[in-house]
Amino acid sequence: MKRTVFVVGLGLIGGSIALAIRKEHDVHIRGYDISGEQLKVALSLKVIDEAATSLREGVEGADLIIFATPVLKTEQLVEEIAQFSLKTGAIVTDVGSTKVRIVGKAKHLQDKKVTFIGGHPMAGSHKSGVEAARSHLFENAFYILTPAEGTDVRAVIQLQNWLKGTKATFIELSAEQHDRLAGAISHFPHVIAASLVHQIAKIEGEDPLVSRLAAGGFRDITRIASSNPAMWRDILLHNKDSLLQLLEGWTREMECVKALIEEESGEAIFTYFQEAKDFRDGLP
Ligand code: NAD
Protein backbone atom coordinates (compact mmCIF):
# COMPACT_ATOMS: atom_id res chain seq x y z
CA MET A 1 0.00 0.00 0.00
CA LYS A 2 1.22 3.51 -0.82
CA ARG A 3 2.39 5.67 2.03
CA THR A 4 0.39 8.83 2.68
CA VAL A 5 1.70 12.38 2.89
CA PHE A 6 -0.59 15.07 4.27
CA VAL A 7 0.15 18.69 3.31
CA VAL A 8 -1.65 21.44 5.24
CA GLY A 9 -1.59 24.75 3.36
CA LEU A 10 -1.40 24.36 -0.40
CA GLY A 11 0.30 27.58 -1.38
CA LEU A 12 3.64 28.25 -3.05
CA ILE A 13 5.71 26.30 -0.52
CA GLY A 14 3.27 23.50 0.37
CA GLY A 15 2.58 22.91 -3.34
CA SER A 16 6.28 22.93 -4.24
CA ILE A 17 7.14 20.46 -1.46
CA ALA A 18 4.30 18.15 -2.54
CA LEU A 19 5.57 18.20 -6.15
CA ALA A 20 9.16 17.54 -5.02
CA ILE A 21 8.06 14.57 -2.86
CA ARG A 22 6.05 13.09 -5.72
CA LYS A 23 9.10 13.21 -8.00
CA GLU A 24 10.99 10.78 -5.76
CA HIS A 25 8.29 8.70 -4.05
CA ASP A 26 5.29 6.70 -5.15
CA VAL A 27 2.91 8.17 -2.58
CA HIS A 28 -0.65 9.21 -2.00
CA ILE A 29 -0.72 12.96 -1.32
CA ARG A 30 -3.60 14.36 0.65
CA GLY A 31 -4.05 18.10 1.04
CA TYR A 32 -5.98 20.52 3.16
CA ASP A 33 -6.39 24.26 2.78
CA ILE A 34 -8.74 26.73 4.36
CA SER A 35 -9.32 28.10 0.86
CA GLY A 36 -11.58 25.79 -1.15
CA GLU A 37 -10.29 27.49 -4.30
CA GLN A 38 -6.64 26.60 -3.55
CA LEU A 39 -7.69 23.01 -2.84
CA LYS A 40 -9.52 22.78 -6.16
CA VAL A 41 -6.56 24.17 -8.08
CA ALA A 42 -4.17 21.82 -6.24
CA LEU A 43 -6.31 18.85 -7.29
CA SER A 44 -6.61 19.97 -10.89
CA LEU A 45 -2.84 20.58 -11.16
CA LYS A 46 -2.29 17.09 -9.63
CA VAL A 47 -0.28 18.57 -6.80
CA ILE A 48 -2.46 16.43 -4.49
CA ASP A 49 -4.42 13.22 -5.07
CA GLU A 50 -7.12 13.84 -2.51
CA ALA A 51 -8.61 16.83 -0.68
CA ALA A 52 -9.26 16.36 3.02
CA THR A 53 -12.31 18.12 4.41
CA SER A 54 -10.77 18.71 7.83
CA LEU A 55 -7.50 18.54 9.68
CA ARG A 56 -8.77 15.54 11.66
CA GLU A 57 -9.57 13.61 8.48
CA GLY A 58 -6.25 14.63 6.88
CA VAL A 59 -3.94 13.42 9.63
CA GLU A 60 -5.58 10.00 9.83
CA GLY A 61 -3.09 7.31 8.80
CA ALA A 62 -0.62 9.87 7.40
CA ASP A 63 3.05 8.81 7.47
CA LEU A 64 4.28 12.36 6.94
CA ILE A 65 2.44 15.55 7.93
CA ILE A 66 3.72 18.87 6.58
CA PHE A 67 2.47 22.24 7.76
CA ALA A 68 2.95 24.87 5.06
CA THR A 69 0.63 27.51 6.50
CA PRO A 70 1.52 31.04 7.69
CA VAL A 71 3.64 30.78 10.85
CA LEU A 72 1.00 32.06 13.32
CA LYS A 73 -1.43 29.46 11.98
CA THR A 74 1.15 26.68 12.02
CA GLU A 75 1.76 27.35 15.69
CA GLN A 76 -1.96 26.80 16.39
CA LEU A 77 -2.38 23.82 14.09
CA VAL A 78 0.60 21.89 15.50
CA GLU A 79 -1.12 22.07 18.89
CA GLU A 80 -4.52 21.27 17.40
CA ILE A 81 -3.52 17.92 15.87
CA ALA A 82 -2.46 16.65 19.30
CA GLN A 83 -6.15 15.94 19.99
CA PHE A 84 -6.49 13.69 16.93
CA SER A 85 -5.42 10.12 16.36
CA LEU A 86 -2.01 10.13 14.62
CA LYS A 87 -0.24 7.16 13.04
CA THR A 88 2.48 5.69 15.28
CA GLY A 89 5.91 6.53 13.88
CA ALA A 90 4.64 9.40 11.73
CA ILE A 91 6.91 12.38 11.10
CA VAL A 92 5.45 15.86 11.50
CA THR A 93 7.27 18.87 10.08
CA ASP A 94 6.66 22.44 8.95
CA VAL A 95 8.23 24.89 6.50
CA GLY A 96 7.78 28.12 8.46
CA SER A 97 10.22 31.00 8.23
CA THR A 98 10.45 31.13 12.04
CA LYS A 99 11.18 28.22 14.32
CA VAL A 100 11.29 28.92 18.08
CA ARG A 101 7.55 29.37 18.65
CA ILE A 102 6.50 26.56 16.33
CA VAL A 103 9.01 24.06 17.73
CA GLY A 104 7.84 25.09 21.23
CA LYS A 105 4.29 23.97 20.36
CA ALA A 106 5.56 20.54 19.35
CA LYS A 107 5.73 19.60 23.02
CA HIS A 108 1.98 18.96 22.72
CA LEU A 109 2.85 16.03 20.45
CA GLN A 110 5.28 14.42 22.91
CA ASP A 111 2.92 11.62 24.00
CA LYS A 112 1.71 10.88 20.50
CA LYS A 113 4.46 8.45 19.34
CA VAL A 114 5.28 10.74 16.43
CA THR A 115 8.41 12.83 15.78
CA PHE A 116 8.19 16.56 15.15
CA ILE A 117 11.12 18.13 13.28
CA GLY A 118 10.95 21.83 12.42
CA GLY A 119 12.01 22.80 8.92
CA HIS A 120 12.62 25.86 6.76
CA PRO A 121 13.49 25.60 3.06
CA MET A 122 15.49 28.76 2.43
CA ALA A 123 14.09 29.59 -0.98
CA GLY A 124 10.90 31.06 -2.21
CA SER A 125 9.52 33.83 -4.26
CA HIS A 126 7.43 36.94 -3.85
CA LYS A 127 4.63 34.99 -5.54
CA SER A 128 2.12 33.01 -3.53
CA GLY A 129 -0.50 30.37 -4.25
CA VAL A 130 -0.35 26.83 -5.58
CA GLU A 131 -0.28 28.01 -9.22
CA ALA A 132 3.25 29.29 -8.58
CA ALA A 133 4.41 25.98 -7.03
CA ARG A 134 7.39 24.30 -8.70
CA SER A 135 9.15 21.05 -7.79
CA HIS A 136 12.56 22.67 -8.42
CA LEU A 137 11.93 25.74 -6.22
CA PHE A 138 14.42 24.59 -3.58
CA GLU A 139 17.16 23.20 -5.84
CA ASN A 140 20.60 24.04 -4.39
CA ALA A 141 19.03 26.05 -1.56
CA PHE A 142 19.69 25.36 2.11
CA TYR A 143 16.93 23.44 3.87
CA ILE A 144 17.26 24.01 7.60
CA LEU A 145 16.03 21.34 10.00
CA THR A 146 15.72 22.06 13.71
CA PRO A 147 15.37 18.73 15.53
CA ALA A 148 14.99 19.18 19.27
CA GLU A 149 17.65 17.70 21.54
CA GLY A 150 17.13 13.95 21.84
CA THR A 151 15.29 13.59 18.51
CA ASP A 152 15.94 10.15 17.03
CA VAL A 153 18.55 10.65 14.33
CA ARG A 154 16.81 7.97 12.23
CA ALA A 155 13.73 10.20 12.03
CA VAL A 156 15.87 13.10 10.77
CA ILE A 157 17.36 10.85 8.06
CA GLN A 158 13.88 9.59 7.19
CA LEU A 159 12.65 13.18 6.78
CA GLN A 160 15.63 14.08 4.59
CA ASN A 161 14.82 11.04 2.50
CA TRP A 162 11.21 12.16 2.13
CA LEU A 163 12.44 15.57 1.00
CA LYS A 164 15.30 14.49 -1.29
CA GLY A 165 13.32 15.55 -4.39
CA THR A 166 13.80 19.17 -3.31
CA LYS A 167 17.51 18.73 -4.19
CA ALA A 168 18.21 21.10 -1.34
CA THR A 169 21.21 20.95 1.00
CA PHE A 170 20.12 20.00 4.51
CA ILE A 171 21.63 21.71 7.52
CA GLU A 172 20.74 21.25 11.20
CA LEU A 173 20.46 24.20 13.59
CA SER A 174 18.79 24.84 16.91
CA ALA A 175 15.53 26.75 16.60
CA GLU A 176 17.13 29.71 18.42
CA GLN A 177 20.13 29.87 16.10
CA HIS A 178 17.78 29.60 13.12
CA ASP A 179 15.68 32.58 14.23
CA ARG A 180 18.75 34.69 15.01
CA LEU A 181 20.36 34.03 11.62
CA ALA A 182 17.16 34.13 9.57
CA GLY A 183 16.33 37.40 11.35
CA ALA A 184 19.62 38.92 10.19
CA ILE A 185 19.76 37.63 6.61
CA SER A 186 16.09 37.57 5.70
CA HIS A 187 13.55 39.08 8.10
CA PHE A 188 15.40 42.30 8.88
CA PRO A 189 16.29 43.02 5.22
CA HIS A 190 12.55 42.79 4.45
CA VAL A 191 11.91 45.54 6.99
CA ILE A 192 14.65 47.70 5.48
CA ALA A 193 13.38 47.13 1.92
CA ALA A 194 9.85 48.15 2.95
CA SER A 195 11.18 51.24 4.75
CA LEU A 196 13.11 52.37 1.65
CA VAL A 197 9.96 52.05 -0.41
CA HIS A 198 8.02 54.07 2.18
CA GLN A 199 10.67 56.77 2.00
CA ILE A 200 10.29 57.07 -1.77
CA ALA A 201 6.49 57.02 -1.49
CA LYS A 202 6.69 60.01 0.88
CA ILE A 203 9.04 61.91 -1.41
CA GLU A 204 6.71 61.18 -4.32
CA GLY A 205 4.05 63.25 -2.56
CA GLU A 206 6.29 66.28 -3.07
CA ASP A 207 7.93 65.30 -6.35
CA PRO A 208 6.25 62.59 -8.52
CA LEU A 209 9.32 62.33 -10.74
CA VAL A 210 11.07 60.25 -8.07
CA SER A 211 9.18 57.01 -8.95
CA ARG A 212 10.11 57.27 -12.60
CA LEU A 213 13.74 57.71 -11.69
CA ALA A 214 13.73 54.86 -9.16
CA ALA A 215 15.30 52.23 -11.40
CA GLY A 216 18.40 49.97 -11.24
CA GLY A 217 19.86 49.87 -7.74
CA PHE A 218 16.66 50.96 -6.03
CA ARG A 219 14.67 48.21 -7.71
CA ASP A 220 17.33 45.61 -6.87
CA ILE A 221 17.46 46.48 -3.20
CA THR A 222 13.66 46.74 -2.79
CA ARG A 223 12.58 43.68 -4.82
CA ILE A 224 11.64 41.81 -1.65
CA ALA A 225 9.29 44.63 -0.59
CA SER A 226 6.79 43.08 -3.07
CA SER A 227 6.37 39.98 -0.87
CA ASN A 228 3.15 38.89 0.80
CA PRO A 229 2.36 41.42 3.60
CA ALA A 230 0.38 38.93 5.72
CA MET A 231 3.25 36.47 5.69
CA TRP A 232 5.75 39.14 6.73
CA ARG A 233 3.47 40.50 9.45
CA ASP A 234 3.36 37.03 10.99
CA ILE A 235 7.12 36.55 10.70
CA LEU A 236 7.84 39.86 12.47
CA LEU A 237 5.39 39.01 15.25
CA HIS A 238 7.07 35.61 15.68
CA ASN A 239 10.69 36.74 15.62
CA LYS A 240 10.19 39.80 17.79
CA ASP A 241 13.25 39.44 20.04
CA SER A 242 15.81 38.90 17.27
CA LEU A 243 14.33 41.74 15.23
CA LEU A 244 14.34 44.21 18.11
CA GLN A 245 18.01 43.43 18.74
CA LEU A 246 18.85 43.84 15.07
CA LEU A 247 16.94 47.13 14.89
CA GLU A 248 18.88 48.48 17.86
CA GLY A 249 22.21 47.54 16.28
CA TRP A 250 21.18 49.01 12.93
CA THR A 251 19.99 52.27 14.53
CA ARG A 252 23.35 52.62 16.31
CA GLU A 253 25.14 51.97 13.04
CA MET A 254 23.04 54.57 11.20
CA GLU A 255 23.90 57.09 13.92
CA CYS A 256 27.60 56.40 13.21
CA VAL A 257 27.05 56.85 9.45
CA LYS A 258 25.16 60.07 10.14
CA ALA A 259 28.10 61.37 12.19
CA LEU A 260 30.57 60.46 9.41
CA ILE A 261 28.50 62.44 6.92
CA GLU A 262 28.06 65.39 9.27
CA GLU A 263 31.81 65.47 9.95
CA GLU A 264 32.52 65.02 6.24
CA SER A 265 34.98 62.22 7.19
CA GLY A 266 35.82 61.16 3.65
CA GLU A 267 38.38 58.58 4.68
CA ALA A 268 36.07 56.91 7.19
CA ILE A 269 33.19 56.89 4.71
CA PHE A 270 35.48 55.26 2.14
CA THR A 271 36.48 52.61 4.69
CA TYR A 272 32.81 51.99 5.56
CA PHE A 273 32.02 51.22 1.91
CA GLN A 274 35.30 49.37 1.25
CA GLU A 275 34.78 47.01 4.18
CA ALA A 276 31.20 46.34 3.11
CA LYS A 277 32.36 45.69 -0.47
CA ASP A 278 35.11 43.29 0.66
CA PHE A 279 32.69 41.30 2.82
CA ARG A 280 30.00 41.27 0.10
CA ASP A 281 32.49 40.25 -2.61
CA GLY A 282 33.74 37.44 -0.37
CA LEU A 283 30.29 35.89 0.16
CA PRO A 284 30.17 32.33 -1.20
P1 NAD B 1 0.96 30.99 0.47
O2 NAD B 1 0.13 32.17 0.83
O3 NAD B 1 1.32 30.77 -0.95
O4 NAD B 1 0.27 29.67 1.05
C5 NAD B 1 -0.24 29.53 2.33
C6 NAD B 1 -1.49 28.67 2.25
O7 NAD B 1 -1.94 28.36 3.57
C8 NAD B 1 -2.65 29.35 1.52
O9 NAD B 1 -3.12 28.52 0.48
C10 NAD B 1 -3.70 29.53 2.62
O11 NAD B 1 -5.03 29.46 2.14
C12 NAD B 1 -3.35 28.38 3.55
N13 NAD B 1 -3.88 28.53 4.90
C14 NAD B 1 -3.89 29.66 5.67
N15 NAD B 1 -4.46 29.38 6.86
C16 NAD B 1 -4.79 28.07 6.85
C17 NAD B 1 -5.39 27.19 7.79
N18 NAD B 1 -5.77 27.61 8.99
N19 NAD B 1 -5.57 25.90 7.45
C20 NAD B 1 -5.20 25.45 6.22
N21 NAD B 1 -4.63 26.24 5.28
C22 NAD B 1 -4.43 27.52 5.60
O23 NAD B 1 2.27 31.12 1.38
P24 NAD B 1 3.68 30.41 1.22
O25 NAD B 1 4.61 31.37 0.57
O26 NAD B 1 3.50 29.05 0.62
O27 NAD B 1 4.14 30.29 2.75
C28 NAD B 1 3.77 29.20 3.55
C29 NAD B 1 4.79 29.01 4.67
O30 NAD B 1 6.08 28.86 4.09
C31 NAD B 1 4.88 30.19 5.65
O32 NAD B 1 4.99 29.66 6.94
C33 NAD B 1 6.18 30.87 5.28
O34 NAD B 1 6.79 31.44 6.42
C35 NAD B 1 7.00 29.71 4.73
N36 NAD B 1 8.02 30.07 3.73
C37 NAD B 1 7.75 30.95 2.73
C38 NAD B 1 8.72 31.27 1.78
C39 NAD B 1 8.42 32.23 0.65
O40 NAD B 1 9.33 32.83 0.08
N41 NAD B 1 7.17 32.40 0.26
C42 NAD B 1 9.99 30.66 1.85
C43 NAD B 1 10.24 29.73 2.87
C44 NAD B 1 9.25 29.44 3.82
In the DSSP assignment, the letter for residue 283 is: -
ipTM of this complex prediction, to 2 decimal places: 0.99
Ligand 1 atom with the smallest distance to the CA of 71 is 32
Q: What is the pLDDT of residues 132-160, one digit of tens each?
A: 999 999 999 999 999 999 999 999 999 99
Ligand 1 atom with the smallest distance to the CA of 77 is 18
Task: Please give the single-letter amino acid code of residue 228.
Answer: N
* Rounded distance between C-alpha atoms, residue 197 and residue 58, angstroms: 41
Q: Which of 17, 30, 33 to mutate to test the pocket of ligand 1 (most atoms within 8 A of CB)?
A: 33
Nearest residue to 67 (alpha-carbon basis) of 113, 110, 101, 26: 101
Nearest residue to 222 (alpha-carbon basis) of 252, 249, 189: 189
For 119-142, give one letter per residue: b (16+ CB within 10 A) or e. bbbbbbeeebbbebbebebbeeee
Chain centroid to CA 124: how far? 8
Within 8 A by CB and 6+ apart from 7, the residues are 14, 15, 17, 18, 29, 30, 31, 32, 48, 66, 68
CA–centroid distance, 110 to ligand 1, in Å, is: 25
Q: Are 143 and 116 in contact (CB under 8 A)?
A: no
For residue 215, the model assigns a pLDDT of 85
State the pLDDT confidence band at 1, using cuts at 50, 70 and 90.
confident
In the DSSP assignment, the letter for residue 53 is: S
State the pLDDT confidence band at 245, using cuts at 50, 70 and 90.
very high
Chain centroid to CA 118: how far? 11
Order the strands of the 142-146 sheet from edge to edge: 50-51, 27-32, 3-8, 64-67, 91-94, 115-121, 142-146, 169-172
Q: What is the pLDDT of residues 180-218, one digit of tens each?
A: 999 999 999 999 999 999 999 999 999 999 999 998 899
Within 6 A (CB) of ligand 1 lie: 8-14, 32-35, 38, 68-71, 73-74, 95-97, 120-121, 124-125, 128-129, 228, 231
State the pLDDT confidence band at 175, using cuts at 50, 70 and 90.
very high
Strand residues in the chain grouped as ranges (E): 3-8, 27-32, 50-51, 64-67, 91-94, 115-121, 142-146, 169-172
For residue 127, the model assigns a pLDDT of 84
What are the backbone angles phi and psi of residue 124, rounded to the nearest 5°? 180, -150
Domains of the chain by start residue, with CATH: 3-173 (3.40.50.720), 178-281 (1.10.3660.10)
CA–centroid distance, 11 to ligand 1, in Å, is: 5
Q: Which of 38, 41, 76, 95 to mutate to test the pocket of ligand 1 (most atoms within 8 A of CB)?
A: 95
